Copies of this chain bind each other. A is one copy, B any other.
Amino acid sequence: MTKTNRQISVAESRVMEALWERQPLSAEEITAEVGDEQDWSPGTVKSLLNRLLSKEAISAERDGRRYLYSPRLARADYVSAEGRGLLDRLFDGRVSSLLTHFSEHEQLSADDVAELKRLIEELDDGA
**A residues whose Cβ falls under 8 Å from a Cβ of B:** 10, 13, 76, 79-80, 82-84, 86, 89-91, 94-96, 98-103, 105-106, 108-109, 111-117, 119-120, 122-123
10 A-B pairs closest in CB distance:
A96-B115, A95-B112, A96-B112, A96-B111, A86-B86, A79-B90, A99-B115, A76-B105, A95-B102, A80-B105
Q: Are A99 and B112 also in contact (CB < 8 A) when A105-B76, A117-B120 are?
A: yes
CB distance from A93 to the nearest CB of B (A): 9
Instruction: Determine if A10 and B89 form an interchain contact, defined as CB atoms under 8 angstroms apart.
Output: yes
A10 to B83, CA, bound (A): 15
Q: Are A13 and B79 also in contact (CB < 8 A) when A84-B106, A106-B84, A119-B103 are?
A: no
A33 to B10, CA, bound (A): 30
Contacting residues, chain B, for A117 (C-beta < 8 A) = 120
**Given A95-B102, A99-B116, 4 other A-B residues pairs in contact with their CB atoms under 8 A:** A79-B90, A82-B89, A83-B86, A96-B111
Contacting residues, chain B, for A123 (C-beta < 8 A) = 103, 108, 113, 116
Instruction: Determine if A115 and B90 form an interchain contact, defined as CB atoms under 8 angstroms apart.
Output: no
Sample 21 A-B pairs with CB under 8 A, ordered by A number. Answer: A10-B89, A13-B89, A76-B101, A76-B105, A79-B91, A79-B101, A80-B101, A82-B86, A82-B89, A82-B90, A83-B101, A95-B99, A96-B111, A96-B114, A96-B115, A99-B115, A99-B116, A100-B119, A103-B119, A103-B123, A113-B123
